[in-house]
Structure 1
Amino acid sequence: MDEFLEVVIQEHRVRERRESDGDALDFVDILLDLQRENASRTPIEDDTIKAIVVDMFGAGTQTTFAVLERTMAELIRNPETMKTLQNEVREVVGRKDEIDEQDLEKMPYLKAVLKESLRLHSPSPLLIPRELTQDTKVLGYDVASGTRVMINVWAISRDPSLWENPEEFRPERFLEMSTDFRGLHFEFTPFGAGRRGCPGVTFAVAVDELVLAKLVQNFDFKLLDGAKLKELDVSESNGKCPLLVVATPYVC
Protein backbone atom coordinates (compact mmCIF):
# COMPACT_ATOMS: atom_id res chain seq x y z
CA MET A 1 0.00 0.00 0.00
CA ASP A 2 2.84 2.39 0.88
CA GLU A 3 4.58 1.74 -2.44
CA PHE A 4 1.33 2.28 -4.36
CA LEU A 5 0.57 5.57 -2.58
CA GLU A 6 4.14 6.76 -3.14
CA VAL A 7 3.61 6.36 -6.89
CA VAL A 8 0.25 8.20 -6.66
CA ILE A 9 1.81 11.13 -4.80
CA GLN A 10 4.73 11.42 -7.20
CA GLU A 11 2.42 11.33 -10.23
CA HIS A 12 0.33 14.14 -8.74
CA ARG A 13 3.44 16.11 -7.79
CA VAL A 14 4.72 16.00 -11.40
CA ARG A 15 1.40 17.26 -12.75
CA GLU A 16 0.89 19.96 -10.08
CA ARG A 17 -2.62 20.66 -11.27
CA ARG A 18 -4.42 23.84 -10.26
CA GLU A 19 -8.05 24.81 -10.46
CA SER A 20 -6.99 27.49 -12.93
CA ASP A 21 -5.99 24.70 -15.34
CA GLY A 22 -9.66 24.01 -15.93
CA ASP A 23 -9.57 20.54 -14.35
CA ALA A 24 -11.10 19.82 -10.97
CA LEU A 25 -8.61 19.04 -8.24
CA ASP A 26 -8.84 15.59 -6.70
CA PHE A 27 -8.22 14.68 -3.07
CA VAL A 28 -4.47 14.14 -3.42
CA ASP A 29 -4.06 17.42 -5.33
CA ILE A 30 -5.67 19.30 -2.44
CA LEU A 31 -3.49 17.57 0.16
CA LEU A 32 -0.35 18.41 -1.82
CA ASP A 33 -1.48 22.05 -2.06
CA LEU A 34 -1.85 22.10 1.73
CA GLN A 35 1.62 20.59 2.05
CA ARG A 36 3.14 23.35 -0.09
CA GLU A 37 1.23 26.12 1.71
CA ASN A 38 2.37 24.90 5.14
CA ALA A 39 5.97 24.03 4.25
CA SER A 40 7.46 26.91 6.28
CA ARG A 41 5.06 26.70 9.25
CA THR A 42 3.80 23.22 10.14
CA PRO A 43 5.25 20.80 7.57
CA ILE A 44 2.97 18.00 6.37
CA GLU A 45 4.95 14.86 5.62
CA ASP A 46 4.20 12.51 2.71
CA ASP A 47 3.49 9.76 5.25
CA THR A 48 0.75 11.95 6.73
CA ILE A 49 -0.86 12.34 3.31
CA LYS A 50 -0.69 8.57 2.79
CA ALA A 51 -2.30 7.96 6.19
CA ILE A 52 -5.17 10.35 5.41
CA VAL A 53 -5.81 8.63 2.07
CA VAL A 54 -5.84 5.20 3.74
CA ASP A 55 -8.24 6.50 6.40
CA MET A 56 -10.61 7.80 3.72
CA PHE A 57 -10.55 4.47 1.86
CA GLY A 58 -11.13 2.51 5.06
CA ALA A 59 -13.89 4.72 6.41
CA GLY A 60 -15.60 4.89 3.02
CA THR A 61 -15.66 1.17 2.26
CA GLN A 62 -15.86 -0.99 5.39
CA THR A 63 -18.78 0.92 6.90
CA THR A 64 -20.61 1.06 3.57
CA PHE A 65 -20.52 -2.67 2.84
CA ALA A 66 -21.32 -3.44 6.50
CA VAL A 67 -24.53 -1.40 6.22
CA LEU A 68 -25.46 -3.11 2.95
CA GLU A 69 -24.84 -6.61 4.30
CA ARG A 70 -26.92 -6.03 7.43
CA THR A 71 -29.68 -4.37 5.43
CA MET A 72 -29.88 -7.36 3.09
CA ALA A 73 -29.92 -9.71 6.07
CA GLU A 74 -32.86 -7.86 7.62
CA LEU A 75 -34.72 -7.81 4.29
CA ILE A 76 -34.28 -11.54 3.84
CA ARG A 77 -35.49 -12.13 7.40
CA ASN A 78 -38.56 -10.02 6.58
CA PRO A 79 -39.88 -11.20 3.19
CA GLU A 80 -42.88 -8.84 3.19
CA THR A 81 -40.58 -5.85 3.63
CA MET A 82 -38.35 -7.15 0.84
CA LYS A 83 -41.34 -7.52 -1.50
CA THR A 84 -42.61 -4.01 -0.70
CA LEU A 85 -39.18 -2.56 -1.45
CA GLN A 86 -38.78 -4.54 -4.68
CA ASN A 87 -42.21 -3.41 -5.88
CA GLU A 88 -41.38 0.24 -5.21
CA VAL A 89 -38.01 0.13 -6.97
CA ARG A 90 -39.25 -1.86 -9.96
CA GLU A 91 -42.28 0.37 -10.40
CA VAL A 92 -40.20 3.57 -10.34
CA VAL A 93 -37.46 2.26 -12.64
CA GLY A 94 -39.70 0.41 -15.06
CA ARG A 95 -37.80 -1.11 -17.97
CA LYS A 96 -34.77 1.17 -17.69
CA ASP A 97 -31.40 -0.50 -17.28
CA GLU A 98 -29.92 2.16 -15.02
CA ILE A 99 -31.09 3.90 -11.86
CA ASP A 100 -30.25 7.59 -11.43
CA GLU A 101 -30.51 10.09 -8.58
CA GLN A 102 -33.89 11.32 -9.78
CA ASP A 103 -35.24 7.77 -9.46
CA LEU A 104 -33.93 7.47 -5.89
CA GLU A 105 -35.82 10.60 -4.86
CA LYS A 106 -39.06 8.80 -5.79
CA MET A 107 -38.31 5.85 -3.46
CA PRO A 108 -39.37 6.84 0.08
CA TYR A 109 -39.60 3.22 1.22
CA LEU A 110 -36.01 2.57 0.10
CA LYS A 111 -34.86 5.50 2.24
CA ALA A 112 -36.95 4.25 5.16
CA VAL A 113 -35.39 0.77 4.88
CA LEU A 114 -31.86 2.20 5.06
CA LYS A 115 -32.76 4.42 8.01
CA GLU A 116 -34.20 1.47 9.89
CA SER A 117 -31.11 -0.59 9.13
CA LEU A 118 -28.86 2.22 10.38
CA ARG A 119 -30.97 2.49 13.53
CA LEU A 120 -30.60 -1.19 14.39
CA HIS A 121 -27.12 -1.75 13.00
CA SER A 122 -25.02 1.38 13.19
CA PRO A 123 -21.66 0.71 11.45
CA SER A 124 -19.94 2.54 14.35
CA PRO A 125 -21.95 1.60 17.48
CA LEU A 126 -19.84 3.87 19.73
CA LEU A 127 -19.01 6.48 17.06
CA ILE A 128 -15.56 8.09 17.30
CA PRO A 129 -14.34 8.94 20.85
CA ARG A 130 -14.61 12.62 21.83
CA GLU A 131 -12.40 14.49 24.28
CA LEU A 132 -13.58 17.47 26.29
CA THR A 133 -11.56 20.65 25.84
CA GLN A 134 -12.94 22.30 28.98
CA ASP A 135 -14.74 21.44 32.21
CA THR A 136 -18.48 21.08 31.71
CA LYS A 137 -21.66 19.87 33.40
CA VAL A 138 -24.00 17.33 31.78
CA LEU A 139 -27.31 16.43 33.40
CA GLY A 140 -25.95 17.45 36.78
CA TYR A 141 -22.65 15.59 36.41
CA ASP A 142 -19.31 17.41 36.46
CA VAL A 143 -17.12 16.25 33.56
CA ALA A 144 -13.49 17.35 33.62
CA SER A 145 -11.52 18.69 30.68
CA GLY A 146 -9.59 15.90 28.95
CA THR A 147 -12.26 13.29 29.71
CA ARG A 148 -12.79 10.87 26.84
CA VAL A 149 -16.47 10.40 26.01
CA MET A 150 -18.07 7.49 24.12
CA ILE A 151 -21.56 7.91 22.62
CA ASN A 152 -23.46 4.60 22.63
CA VAL A 153 -25.68 5.11 19.57
CA TRP A 154 -26.45 1.39 19.53
CA ALA A 155 -28.17 1.65 22.91
CA ILE A 156 -29.84 5.00 22.15
CA SER A 157 -31.31 3.62 18.91
CA ARG A 158 -32.85 0.71 20.83
CA ASP A 159 -34.13 2.70 23.81
CA PRO A 160 -37.83 1.84 24.35
CA SER A 161 -38.45 5.30 25.78
CA LEU A 162 -37.51 6.75 22.38
CA TRP A 163 -38.64 4.06 19.95
CA GLU A 164 -41.78 1.94 19.77
CA ASN A 165 -40.93 -1.78 19.59
CA PRO A 166 -37.24 -0.90 19.15
CA GLU A 167 -36.04 -4.46 18.44
CA GLU A 168 -38.35 -4.84 15.43
CA PHE A 169 -37.17 -4.11 11.90
CA ARG A 170 -40.02 -1.87 10.78
CA PRO A 171 -39.08 0.70 8.09
CA GLU A 172 -42.64 2.05 8.11
CA ARG A 173 -41.82 3.97 11.30
CA PHE A 174 -39.71 6.38 9.22
CA LEU A 175 -42.58 7.02 6.82
CA GLU A 176 -44.54 8.34 9.77
CA MET A 177 -41.91 10.70 11.21
CA SER A 178 -39.42 13.35 10.10
CA THR A 179 -36.50 11.92 12.13
CA ASP A 180 -33.32 11.91 10.08
CA PHE A 181 -29.64 11.02 10.58
CA ARG A 182 -28.16 14.40 9.62
CA GLY A 183 -27.41 15.30 13.24
CA LEU A 184 -30.55 17.23 14.18
CA HIS A 185 -32.26 14.36 16.05
CA PHE A 186 -30.06 13.05 18.84
CA GLU A 187 -32.05 9.82 19.22
CA PHE A 188 -30.76 8.79 15.78
CA THR A 189 -27.13 9.67 15.05
CA PRO A 190 -25.41 6.75 13.25
CA PHE A 191 -23.13 9.30 11.56
CA GLY A 192 -22.57 11.44 14.64
CA ALA A 193 -23.58 15.08 14.93
CA GLY A 194 -22.14 18.58 15.03
CA ARG A 195 -18.79 19.68 13.63
CA ARG A 196 -17.31 16.23 14.28
CA GLY A 197 -20.02 14.34 12.43
CA CYS A 198 -19.03 11.99 9.62
CA PRO A 199 -17.83 14.09 6.64
CA GLY A 200 -18.76 11.29 4.23
CA VAL A 201 -22.44 10.94 5.17
CA THR A 202 -23.73 12.21 1.81
CA PHE A 203 -21.41 9.92 -0.15
CA ALA A 204 -22.18 6.88 2.03
CA VAL A 205 -25.94 7.31 1.81
CA ALA A 206 -25.82 7.84 -1.97
CA VAL A 207 -23.79 4.65 -2.47
CA ASP A 208 -25.94 2.57 -0.11
CA GLU A 209 -29.19 3.74 -1.70
CA LEU A 210 -27.98 3.14 -5.25
CA VAL A 211 -26.47 -0.30 -4.59
CA LEU A 212 -29.47 -1.49 -2.57
CA ALA A 213 -31.88 -0.28 -5.27
CA LYS A 214 -29.90 -2.09 -7.98
CA LEU A 215 -29.78 -5.31 -5.97
CA VAL A 216 -33.51 -5.52 -5.30
CA GLN A 217 -34.32 -4.32 -8.84
CA ASN A 218 -32.33 -7.03 -10.59
CA PHE A 219 -32.47 -10.03 -8.25
CA ASP A 220 -34.69 -12.12 -6.02
CA PHE A 221 -32.94 -13.53 -2.96
CA LYS A 222 -33.30 -16.59 -0.79
CA LEU A 223 -31.15 -18.42 1.75
CA LEU A 224 -29.17 -21.53 0.94
CA ASP A 225 -31.08 -24.82 1.02
CA GLY A 226 -32.10 -25.81 4.51
CA ALA A 227 -31.43 -22.44 6.14
CA LYS A 228 -34.29 -20.93 8.11
CA LEU A 229 -35.13 -17.23 8.09
CA LYS A 230 -35.42 -16.85 11.84
CA GLU A 231 -32.05 -18.54 12.34
CA LEU A 232 -30.27 -15.92 10.22
CA ASP A 233 -27.68 -14.29 12.49
CA VAL A 234 -27.81 -10.47 12.44
CA SER A 235 -25.75 -9.97 15.60
CA GLU A 236 -23.09 -7.25 15.63
CA SER A 237 -19.81 -8.89 14.61
CA ASN A 238 -17.14 -8.62 11.92
CA GLY A 239 -16.97 -11.65 9.65
CA LYS A 240 -18.36 -14.05 12.25
CA CYS A 241 -21.42 -15.09 10.22
CA PRO A 242 -21.16 -13.89 6.61
CA LEU A 243 -24.44 -13.54 4.71
CA LEU A 244 -24.72 -16.34 2.13
CA VAL A 245 -27.68 -16.16 -0.27
CA VAL A 246 -28.85 -17.41 -3.64
CA ALA A 247 -29.49 -14.54 -6.06
CA THR A 248 -31.83 -15.24 -8.97
CA PRO A 249 -31.98 -12.72 -11.85
CA TYR A 250 -35.36 -10.99 -12.05
CA VAL A 251 -37.04 -10.91 -15.46
CA CYS A 252 -39.85 -8.36 -15.76
Structure 2
Amino acid sequence: MAWSAGMFRIARTLALGIVALFFAANAMAQARGSAVLAQAVAATQAAKTDYAFDWTLNTAKQTWRARFDPNATPRLRMLAPDPSNLKNDEREGFERLSRDMEGVSWCASETMGRVSNVQLVRNDGATSTYSFQPTRESIRGEQARRFADRLRGEMTMLNETPDITRVRLFAPAAFSPMPLVNVERIDIVITCTPAPNGRRYASETVSEVHGSAFGQAFDERSVQRFSNLQAAP
Protein backbone atom coordinates (compact mmCIF):
# COMPACT_ATOMS: atom_id res chain seq x y z
CA MET A 1 0.00 0.00 0.00
CA ALA A 2 1.45 3.40 -1.00
CA TRP A 3 1.73 6.28 1.40
CA SER A 4 -1.26 8.59 1.20
CA ALA A 5 -1.21 12.32 1.94
CA GLY A 6 -3.02 11.47 5.17
CA MET A 7 -0.26 9.10 6.27
CA PHE A 8 2.41 11.71 5.57
CA ARG A 9 0.41 14.22 7.61
CA ILE A 10 0.25 11.80 10.57
CA ALA A 11 4.01 11.20 10.50
CA ARG A 12 4.76 14.91 10.04
CA THR A 13 2.30 15.87 12.79
CA LEU A 14 3.98 13.44 15.17
CA ALA A 15 7.41 14.78 14.28
CA LEU A 16 6.40 18.46 14.51
CA GLY A 17 4.45 17.76 17.68
CA ILE A 18 7.56 16.32 19.24
CA VAL A 19 9.67 19.27 18.03
CA ALA A 20 7.15 21.46 19.86
CA LEU A 21 7.70 19.59 23.07
CA PHE A 22 10.06 22.34 23.99
CA PHE A 23 8.74 25.64 21.57
CA ALA A 24 8.41 24.02 24.60
CA ALA A 25 11.91 20.32 28.24
CA ASN A 26 18.12 14.05 40.99
CA ALA A 27 18.86 14.45 43.98
CA MET A 28 20.74 13.16 46.77
CA ALA A 29 17.05 13.28 47.19
CA GLN A 30 14.35 14.38 44.78
CA ALA A 31 13.95 17.66 46.68
CA ARG A 32 17.59 18.60 45.97
CA GLY A 33 17.24 18.05 42.22
CA SER A 34 13.95 19.92 42.08
CA ALA A 35 15.51 22.81 44.02
CA VAL A 36 18.45 23.09 41.60
CA LEU A 37 16.07 23.02 38.64
CA ALA A 38 13.92 25.69 40.28
CA GLN A 39 17.01 27.90 40.71
CA ALA A 40 17.90 27.46 37.03
CA VAL A 41 14.35 28.29 35.91
CA ALA A 42 14.20 31.37 38.17
CA ALA A 43 17.54 32.67 36.88
CA THR A 44 16.46 32.21 33.26
CA GLN A 45 13.09 33.88 33.84
CA ALA A 46 14.82 36.86 35.45
CA ALA A 47 17.29 37.23 32.55
CA LYS A 48 14.88 36.55 29.66
CA THR A 49 15.36 38.89 26.71
CA ASP A 50 13.57 39.15 23.38
CA TYR A 51 15.84 38.18 20.50
CA ALA A 52 15.57 38.07 16.75
CA PHE A 53 17.20 34.94 15.32
CA ASP A 54 17.65 32.65 12.33
CA TRP A 55 15.77 29.36 12.37
CA THR A 56 16.28 26.28 10.22
CA LEU A 57 14.55 22.92 9.96
CA ASN A 58 16.17 20.06 8.05
CA THR A 59 14.51 16.74 7.25
CA ALA A 60 15.04 14.09 4.58
CA LYS A 61 12.31 15.73 2.51
CA GLN A 62 12.78 19.45 3.08
CA THR A 63 14.95 22.29 4.34
CA TRP A 64 13.29 25.41 5.68
CA ARG A 65 15.06 28.65 6.56
CA ALA A 66 13.28 31.48 8.35
CA ARG A 67 13.94 34.63 10.36
CA PHE A 68 12.14 35.36 13.62
CA ASP A 69 11.62 38.99 14.66
CA PRO A 70 9.52 39.58 17.80
CA ASN A 71 8.53 43.04 16.54
CA ALA A 72 7.49 41.98 13.03
CA THR A 73 4.17 40.73 11.65
CA PRO A 74 4.31 37.85 11.07
CA ARG A 75 7.08 37.24 13.55
CA LEU A 76 8.40 34.19 11.66
CA ARG A 77 9.13 34.90 7.98
CA MET A 78 10.19 32.11 5.64
CA LEU A 79 13.32 32.86 3.64
CA ALA A 80 13.57 29.58 1.72
CA PRO A 81 11.94 27.93 -0.02
CA ASP A 82 9.53 30.43 -1.51
CA PRO A 83 6.30 30.02 0.53
CA SER A 84 4.28 29.99 -2.70
CA ASN A 85 6.03 26.72 -3.64
CA LEU A 86 4.93 24.88 -0.48
CA LYS A 87 2.33 22.14 -0.66
CA ASN A 88 -0.89 22.78 1.23
CA ASP A 89 0.00 20.60 4.23
CA GLU A 90 3.52 22.10 4.36
CA ARG A 91 2.09 25.62 4.25
CA GLU A 92 -0.37 24.76 7.02
CA GLY A 93 2.47 23.27 9.09
CA PHE A 94 4.62 26.38 8.73
CA GLU A 95 1.69 28.69 9.51
CA ARG A 96 0.94 26.67 12.65
CA LEU A 97 4.60 26.82 13.64
CA SER A 98 4.64 30.58 13.01
CA ARG A 99 1.63 31.05 15.27
CA ASP A 100 3.07 28.90 18.05
CA MET A 101 6.66 30.16 18.06
CA GLU A 102 6.97 32.80 20.78
CA GLY A 103 10.72 33.34 20.59
CA VAL A 104 13.92 31.72 21.80
CA SER A 105 13.35 28.31 23.38
CA TRP A 106 15.06 28.58 26.77
CA CYS A 107 16.38 25.31 28.19
CA ALA A 108 15.51 26.19 31.80
CA SER A 109 12.06 27.41 30.80
CA GLU A 110 8.95 27.77 32.92
CA THR A 111 7.53 24.63 31.31
CA MET A 112 10.71 22.70 32.14
CA GLY A 113 10.08 23.61 35.76
CA ARG A 114 6.85 21.59 35.62
CA VAL A 115 8.46 18.18 35.11
CA SER A 116 8.21 15.71 37.99
CA ASN A 117 10.22 13.03 39.77
CA VAL A 118 13.61 14.72 39.29
CA GLN A 119 16.31 12.22 40.36
CA LEU A 120 20.13 12.39 40.34
CA VAL A 121 21.72 9.91 37.92
CA ARG A 122 25.39 10.96 38.26
CA ASN A 123 27.62 13.85 39.29
CA ASP A 124 30.65 14.51 37.07
CA GLY A 125 32.07 17.41 39.07
CA ALA A 126 31.24 20.39 36.84
CA THR A 127 27.86 18.95 35.82
CA SER A 128 25.15 16.64 37.14
CA THR A 129 22.74 14.52 35.12
CA TYR A 130 19.17 14.07 36.32
CA SER A 131 16.32 11.89 35.14
CA PHE A 132 12.77 13.26 35.13
CA GLN A 133 9.21 12.49 34.13
CA PRO A 134 7.64 14.85 31.57
CA THR A 135 4.12 15.97 32.48
CA ARG A 136 1.29 17.35 30.37
CA GLU A 137 1.98 20.76 31.92
CA SER A 138 5.64 20.62 30.87
CA ILE A 139 4.87 20.02 27.19
CA ARG A 140 3.70 22.50 24.59
CA GLY A 141 1.43 21.18 21.87
CA GLU A 142 -1.86 19.42 22.46
CA GLN A 143 -0.94 16.35 20.44
CA ALA A 144 2.32 15.75 22.30
CA ARG A 145 0.64 16.25 25.70
CA ARG A 146 -1.48 13.17 25.05
CA PHE A 147 1.53 10.86 25.36
CA ALA A 148 3.56 12.73 27.99
CA ASP A 149 3.28 9.74 30.33
CA ARG A 150 4.94 7.54 27.68
CA LEU A 151 8.09 9.68 27.67
CA ARG A 152 11.07 9.86 29.97
CA GLY A 153 13.72 12.54 30.19
CA GLU A 154 17.29 13.28 31.18
CA MET A 155 18.92 16.68 31.63
CA THR A 156 22.47 17.76 32.32
CA MET A 157 22.94 20.80 34.54
CA LEU A 158 25.91 22.96 35.50
CA ASN A 159 26.66 22.64 39.21
CA GLU A 160 28.29 25.99 39.91
CA THR A 161 25.80 28.24 38.10
CA PRO A 162 22.61 26.20 37.70
CA ASP A 163 21.57 26.02 34.07
CA ILE A 164 20.71 23.23 31.64
CA THR A 165 23.29 22.22 29.03
CA ARG A 166 21.53 19.24 27.46
CA VAL A 167 18.09 17.60 27.48
CA ARG A 168 17.12 14.19 26.14
CA LEU A 169 13.56 12.91 25.77
CA PHE A 170 12.79 9.33 24.78
CA ALA A 171 10.12 6.65 24.88
CA PRO A 172 11.31 3.56 26.78
CA ALA A 173 8.72 1.37 25.03
CA ALA A 174 6.60 1.38 21.89
CA PHE A 175 3.10 2.85 22.13
CA SER A 176 0.08 3.79 20.01
CA PRO A 177 -0.84 7.49 20.17
CA MET A 178 -3.89 6.96 17.95
CA PRO A 179 -5.70 4.08 16.21
CA LEU A 180 -3.64 2.29 13.53
CA VAL A 181 -0.51 4.27 14.43
CA ASN A 182 2.36 2.70 16.37
CA VAL A 183 5.42 4.61 17.57
CA GLU A 184 8.34 2.26 18.09
CA ARG A 185 11.00 4.81 18.98
CA ILE A 186 11.23 8.47 19.93
CA ASP A 187 14.55 10.09 20.71
CA ILE A 188 15.03 13.86 21.06
CA VAL A 189 18.32 15.50 22.01
CA ILE A 190 18.44 19.23 22.76
CA THR A 191 21.80 21.01 22.87
CA CYS A 192 21.81 24.19 24.95
CA THR A 193 24.11 27.13 24.14
CA PRO A 194 24.62 30.41 26.05
CA ALA A 195 22.64 33.34 24.65
CA PRO A 196 24.07 36.88 24.80
CA ASN A 197 22.38 37.29 28.21
CA GLY A 198 24.36 34.32 29.57
CA ARG A 199 21.42 31.91 29.93
CA ARG A 200 21.22 28.80 27.76
CA TYR A 201 18.77 28.26 24.91
CA ALA A 202 17.97 25.29 22.66
CA SER A 203 20.39 25.97 19.82
CA GLU A 204 19.87 22.53 18.25
CA THR A 205 17.15 19.90 18.56
CA VAL A 206 17.60 16.54 16.85
CA SER A 207 14.39 14.50 16.77
CA GLU A 208 13.98 10.92 15.56
CA VAL A 209 10.61 9.16 15.34
CA HIS A 210 10.21 5.61 14.02
CA GLY A 211 6.99 3.63 13.72
CA SER A 212 4.16 2.68 11.42
CA ALA A 213 0.84 4.11 10.27
CA PHE A 214 -1.83 1.98 8.60
CA GLY A 215 0.71 -0.83 8.22
CA GLN A 216 3.33 1.36 6.52
CA ALA A 217 6.62 2.18 8.24
CA PHE A 218 7.73 5.76 8.75
CA ASP A 219 11.14 7.02 9.78
CA GLU A 220 11.34 10.74 10.51
CA ARG A 221 14.48 12.64 11.49
CA SER A 222 14.58 16.40 11.86
CA VAL A 223 17.24 18.88 12.95
CA GLN A 224 16.04 22.25 14.18
CA ARG A 225 18.54 25.07 14.81
CA PHE A 226 18.33 28.56 16.32
CA SER A 227 21.29 30.86 15.61
CA ASN A 228 22.48 34.44 15.12
CA LEU A 229 20.63 35.82 18.15
CA GLN A 230 20.31 39.61 18.17
CA ALA A 231 18.65 41.62 20.92
CA ALA A 232 15.36 43.10 19.71
CA PRO A 233 15.19 46.92 19.88
TM-score by structure 1 length? 0.30
Greater RCO (CA < 8 Å, at least 6 residues apart)? 2
- Structure (1/2) with the larger strand percentage: 2
- Structure (1/2) with the larger helix percentage: 1
Q: Which has the larger radius of gyration?
A: 1
TM-score by structure 2 length? 0.31
